[in-house]
Structure formats: C-alpha cells, structure tokens
Structure 1
Amino acid sequence: MNKMKEKLFNWAYKLLRDLDFSKITASYINLLVNILILAIIAFILDFVFRKILTAILTRIAKRTKTEFDDFLLANNTVTYIAHLIPLLFIVETLPIALEGFIHWENFFEKSISIVIILLSLWIARSILNAMKDYLKKLPAFSDKPIDSYIQVIMIFLWVFAVTVLVSLLLNKPVMYLVGTFGAVSAIVILIFKDTILGFVASIQVSVNDMVRIGDWITIDKFGADGDVIEINLATVKVRNFDNTTTTIPTYNLISDSFKNWRGMTNSGGRRIKRSILIKATTIRFINNEELEEFKKIQLLTSYIIHRQNDIEKFNQSNGADKSLFVNGRNLTNLGIFRKYINQYIAVHPGINKEMTMMCRHLQPTAQGIPIEIYAFSNDKRWINYEYIMADIFDHIIAAVPYFGLEIYELSSDSGTSGVV
C-alpha cells in the first residue's frame, strides 16, 4: 500500500526530473500536484461514502420501527460522518504526499486535526439532537426538559474540544491545560454564572416536578400567562394566550413564586368563585302571603314548606310574639335567594356535584352584601368554563328581582349608588 502511495505522489517529480527541471522546481511542482491529488481523492471519498452511508441508513430506517434512525438522517449525522472519512485518509497520507516539506506537513496536520475535532463535535451534536427529537416523541419524556440536559452535555463537549484544540496549537499536554483551568476556575465560574445557575435550576425543576412542557403557568412579574412550550438550560418559553411568547430565566422558577395550573387541570373541575353585591336596604323578612308566592318556584317548594314548619314549631314552643317580624325566627328574602342559588347550581349540568358547592355570605361592604358562588365546573377547558360561569350568573342576576332584592351598581353620572 505504501509503495502504491509513493508511486502516486512521486510520479510528477520523476517526470519533471526527466524533463531536466531542477530538484527544487520539481519538488514544489510535485507538492502542488500532490495537494491537488489529495483534494480530488478526498472529494471522491466524501461523495462515495456519503451516498453509501445515506443509502444504508435510509434502508435501515425503512425496515425498523424506531424513529431514532429517521432523526439521525434528519440531523445530517451521516453527512458529518462521511466528511470524517476523507479527513482520516488525508492524515494517513500526508507524510508521504508532503515528504521533504516538514513545515507544510506540520501545518496541514494541525489544520486537518482541528477540522477533525470540530467535525467530531458536530457529529456528537447531531446525535444528541437526534436523541432529543426522539425522546420528545416518547410520552414518558414529552414533558421533561430534554433541551437542558442536551445543552449541559454540549457545554462539557465544547469545553473538552476547546481544551484539546488549545493543547494542539500550543503543543502542550491536555493535563497541563486542565491544571491551568483549575487555577482560573473562579474566573470561569464568574463567566458561566448564569449557565451554572440555569443548570442547577433545570435539575431542581425536573427533580421536584415543578414545571413540565405543556403546563399552564402564570408569573405576574414577567407578564407570563400561558402554556410552557420549551424548557432549556437558560430559559423557559411560555406561549401566552394572546399568542405572544414570554422568555423567563430558568433560575427564576426556583427563586421567585409562580402559579402552576396543572393541579386544576388534573383535578375533577375548575373553580368558580365569583360574587354579586346585594343592596343591603332591600333585605327584609318575608310574610306568609309572600311565602305562598315563593312556593311557586319549583326549586324552593319543598324547602319553604319544610322550613316554614320548623320555624312555626320553634316560635310556638318559645312563645314568640309574631305581631312583629323581629320576634322569633323568620325567613328573609336574601336567605331564600341563597337557598335558590344553592339549588340551582346543584342541578346545573355544568357543575361537578362531587366537589365543593355552595353559596355563601361574605363580609358586608360599603357597596352591599357580597353573595358568592363557590363551585367547580366539570369542564376545565377555558372557553367552556367561561360559558358555564356566564350561564349561571346570567340566570342568577335575572332572578334577583323575583326575591325583592336589588344589585348594587355605581351610577356613572352622579357617583352615587344605584340599582339594577
């Protein structure tokens, strides 16, 4: 093989010497011819191996069920490997092709070595990207911060590659440079502070299962309110509901507070917690004639009959003077209205009956008495949730006048309270 290489790379020199060219002239022309020959052979090898390897991997990808080999093709892994083969051939052939030109031989060897190191880094990166794309397709890893782990591996590979390159250029052992880096570790830590913090944060986020891809999170500090679409070493990307994108430093997920709606999504319902303000001056006791009218409301008929009997028994046993409503126990229009709301949400098809469900008083305010509905919709999708909540309050607001009550409303022209 070596004799064949010598014949291939020395024929020009022998031919020129036979043509009476001087040794120096023949040597330099032979050098240029050899470099041209190496370039042509490298190009041919690159073309041939790229075609062969691509065809082989394509055939394998078609026959296998896994998608990993498809991602290898998509990330040009085969192309990078094909580029590596002619470079290795050149390294082996250089001592013969550049025989007698030590300076040029050293220059080309270092140059080719640098290209091989960088190309090897590209091959590793393409394999890691293929692995990242493959893992993201798997249900078990679809919500994991795969990007963060790939970026960490690439940082270590880059540090190693740069160390080897500097060692090659300075003709120093790799361990010598490692010792030098150790001496300036404080500077390195300062330079890569954000990267280190991001790395630690991404590990904590993953281990503690704080955030997954697809989670709905809210961070008021950054104006983020939407779904997490990407978690990497330095940042977390959130696609807000207005289709804008907010980028948040990963470290802020463990240093600041944020709201993750995953618990609501995984639960049986989405909470409805909204109140209406009832004008306090419209709240009053109900007489028997009015109770007969309220009995016509089907959701209240049995309740009113039952409560009316209980109250009459109590008042009789305690000798209450019913010439005044304030004596003894009495039903109020607000109390009946609250019971009506309870009964209404109890039969509403959009409410989860197995979760907390109630209508309650809140602390009275200057604007009136807040009557709050606390329940959970059985449909957690945003549009459907808003529809269910609006449907309930449309009905309740329309039902208020039937109970002799009024809703507080601030008048826009006079600044005084009005009613609806």
Structure 2
Amino acid sequence: MHKLLEQIFGWCYPLFRKWHMGDTLASYSSLLVNIVILCFISYWIYLIFRMALVTAMVVIARRTKTRFDDLLVSNKTAKYIAHLIPLLFIYKSVPVILDNYVYWETVFGKLVGIYIILLSLWIVRTIFNALRDHLKQMPKYADKPIDSYIQVVMIVLWMIGIFVIISELFNIKPNTLFATFGAISAIIILIFRDTILGFVASVQVSLNDMVRIGDWITFDKFGADGDVIEINLATVKVRNFDNTTTTIPTYSMISDSFRNWRGMLNSDGRRIKRYINIKTKSIRFLSEEELEKMKKIQLISSYIEDRQNEIDRYNTAHEIDRSLPINGRNMTNFGLFRKYITQYLQHHPALNKEMLLLCRQLQPTQYGIPLEIYTFTSDKRFENYEYIMADIFDHIFASVGYFDLEIFELPSEGKKAFDN
C-alpha cells in the first residue's frame, strides 16, 4: 500500500526539479498537485463505493424477507460507510504527501483520525437505530424501552470515543487517561446525574414491568392522562386524550406514584364505582297497601311476594303486634330500592355478570346515606363506558321517586332566603 501511494504522489517533485525549479518551489508545487490528486481520487472512491454499497444493500434488502436490512437502507448506513473508505485512503496518504512537513503531517493525521472515529461512531449509531426500529416492529419487544438501552450503549461508546480522541490528540496513554478520569469521576457523575438516574429508572421500569409502550397511565403530578408512546433514557412521552403530549422524567416513574390502567384493559370489564346520597328522612317502613302497589314493578314483584310471605310467617309465629310497623319484621322502601337496583344491574345487557356486581349501602354521612353501585362493564372503550354508566344512573335517578325516596341536594341560595 505504501509503495502504491509513493508511485501515485511521488512523481511530482522529481518532475518539477527536472524543470529546473528551486527546491522550495518544487516542494510546494508538488504538495499542491498532490492535494488536488488526493481530493480527486478520494472523491471518485467515495462515488464508486457509495454507488456500489447503496445498490448492493438495496438489492439485498429487496430479496430478503427480514426488515432489518430495509431499515439499514432507510437509516443511510451504506452512505456513511462510503464516507469512511475515502477517509481511510486519506489517512494513509497524508504521511506520504506531507513527508517533508512533519508538523503538518502530525496535525492533519490527527484530524483525519478524529474524523474517522466520529464517523465510525455515527455508523454504529445508524446500525443501532435500525436495530431499534426492527425490535419495535416485533410484538415481543414492541412495549419494551428499547430507546433507553440504545441510548445507554451509545453513551458508553461515545465516552470510549472521546477517550480515544483525547489520547490521540494529546498523545496521552490510555492508562494515564483512565486514571485522570477516575479522579474527576465525581464531577462527571454530577454532570450526568439525570442520565444515570434515567438509566437506573429505565432498567427498573423494564424489569418490574411498571409501564410499557401503549399503556394508558394517569400521572396527576404532571397532568398526564393518556397512552405511553415513547420510553427513553431521560423521558417518558404520553399522548393525552386531548392529543397533547406530556413529557415525564423517567426517574419519576419510580420515585412518584402514578396509575397504570393496563390491568383494567387486560381484564374482562371496566369498573363502575359511583354512589348517590339518599336523604335519611325519606327512609321508612312500607305498608301493606304500598307493597301491593310496588308488586307492579316486574323486576321485584316475585321478590316482594316471597319476602312478604316469609315476614308474615315470622311475625305470626312470634305473635308480633302489627299495629306498629316497627314491631317484628317489615320491609323498607330503601331496602326494596336496593333490591330493585341489584335486579336492574343483573338484567343490564352491557354489564359483565361474571365479575362482581352489587348495590351496597355505605357509612352514613352529613349528606345522607350513600348508595354505591359497584359493577363492571363488558365494553372497556372510554366513550362506550361513559355512555353505559350515564345510562345506568339516569335510570337510578328516575327510579328513586317510585320508592318514595329523595336524593340529597344542597339547598340553593334562593331557597335558603325563601325558607328564612
């Protein structure tokens, strides 16, 4: 290789000397001509190898079934490799061209070497980008934080590259450089604190399966409520339901509390857990006449009949004085209403009957007695879920009056003034 380069660049100086040029003029003229030749040859090497590599990679990508080579083409890996080949030619040619200029030979040799290192790192980056895109297309890795791992690997490679560049630029031995790096490691850790914390968080998020790409999360601290679209070393991006994007520091996923709705989406239903407040004063025992009237409500007519027979047998057996409803056993409008709502939910076509379904009474408050609906919808889509829940409570609100119950409402200012 060295002899070939001497043949290419070594003919100028003897020729100029034959033309009776002075030594200095012949040397500078030879240098100028060799630089032009070097640029010309390097340019043609670049064109030839660019055309050959790009064409070969496109042909291979078309003939293979894997998508990885297609992604190498889209990330322009062959184009950057084509840049590297003429640089290597220049790196080998500089000592020959600048043989009589030791200082400039050293300077340009180091600059070309640094450029080769940077270009090599860039080529590795395009390969990793293609690998990232390839893994994201695979169902097994689609929800994994691939970006974080790629970024960590690239940070390590860039640090190694910087060490090599510094040692090349200042002629420092690697052992001495690493010793110096150890001495200033505290400062470096301080500078890259967020990166280190982000890496630790990414590993923990992945190992503990805390969040995946595509998960619906709610993070009140950052106002995030939507789907995770990207997880990288420093941030987690969430596309909210109003199509805005919230960026969350990755470390916050392990240091703060957030809600992941994946379990609900993977289950057989989406939970409804909501209550209404019933006025305590509106709850009372029901008379025989009222029970007969309520038997017209089809969902609970058979229940009233069976329950009334059971109560009559008990009261008769224990000789209960029926002149007061408080004596013995009796049905209340609130208890009957709870039974009606339970039957209504069991007959609702949009609810999952295989999951927990109940209508329960909660601890009384100053706002009345809460009556809670706890059930699960079969359809988990947001808009359909909201429609089903609204439909159920519309019916509940309209049904309260049939049981002579009242829903608690705070009095308005106008009503307060009127009552006063």
> What TM-score do the two structures reach when normalised by structure 2?
0.96
Distance 1:415 1:242 in 2: 39
Residues 238-260 of structure 1: per-residue CA shift (max 9 Å, x gap) = 11222222211111111112111
How do 1:12-411 residues align onto structure 2 when only pairs under 5 Å count? 12-411=12-411
CA deviation string 1:305-338 (max 9, x = no partner): 1101111011111111111111111111111111
Distance 1:417 1:363, change over 3 A: farther
Range with greater deviation from structure 2 (407-416 or 154-163): 407-416
- Write the distance in 2 (CA, Å) between the matches of 1:17 and 1:368: 111
- Secondary structure at the counterpart of residue 414 of structure 1: helix
Instruction: Return 5+ residue gaps in structure 1 as ranges.
Output: none
Inter-CA distance 352–256: structure 2 relative to 1 (3 Å threshold): same
**Counterpart code for 2:399:** A
AA matched with 2:175: M
Report the secondary structure of 1:163's partner residue.
Answer: helix
Inter-partner Cα distance in structure 2 for 1:265 and 1:374: 18
Distance 1:146 1:254 in 2: 18
What is the Cα deviation at residue 415 of structure 1? 6.1
The total of aligned residue pairs comes to 418
Q: Could you give the per-residue CA deviations for residues 331-389 of structure 1, whole angstroms, max 9, x where no partner exists?
A: 11111111010000001011110111011111222222211101011111111110110
Q: Following the alignment from structure 1 to structure 2, what is the Cα–Cα distance between the partners of residues 151 and 232?
A: 8
For 1:149 and 1:66, the matched residues in 2 are separated by 22
Distance 1:391 1:182 in 2: 67
Give the conservation status (yes or no) of the 8 Å contact 1:202–1:250.
yes
Residue in structure 1 matched with residue 8 of structure 2 by the alignment:
8
Does the 8 Å contact 1:411/1:417 carry over to 2?
no
Runs of at least 5 residues in structure 2 that lack an aligned partner in the other structure: none
Aligned AA (1:223): G
CA drift at 1:85: 0.4
Work out whether residues 13 and 26 of structure 2, in 8 Å CA contact, stay in contact via their aligned partners in 1. yes
Distance 2:321 2:302 in 1: 26
Deviation, structure 1 residue 416: 4.8
| TM-score of the pair, normalised by structure 1 | 0.96
Paired residue type of 2:60:
I
Q: Which amino acid aligns with 1:208?
A: N
Asked if 1 retains the 8 angstrom alpha-carbon contact of 2:95 and 2:109, the reply is no
- CA deviation after TM superposition for structure 1 residue 231, in Å: 0.9
Task: Give 1:344's aligned amino acid.
Answer: Y
Shift of 1:22: 0.9
Q: Is the alpha carbon distance of 1:417 and 1:378 closer, same or farther for their aligned partners in structure 2, counting shifts above 3 Å? A: farther
Residues 230-279 of structure 1: CA deviation (Å, up to 9, x unaligned) = 11111111112222222111111111121111111111111101111222
8 Å CA contact 2:42, 2:86 repeated in 1: yes
Contact 1:410 1:416 in 2 (8 A): no
Q: Which moved more, 1:60-69 or 1:400-409?
A: 400-409
1:201-228 deviation per Cα after TM superposition (whole angstroms, max 9, x unaligned):
1111110111111111112122222111
- Distance in 1 separating the partners of 2:2 and 2:127: 35
Q: Is the 8 A contact 1:410 1:417 kept in 2?
A: no
Give the RMSD, CA atoms, in angstroms: 1.6
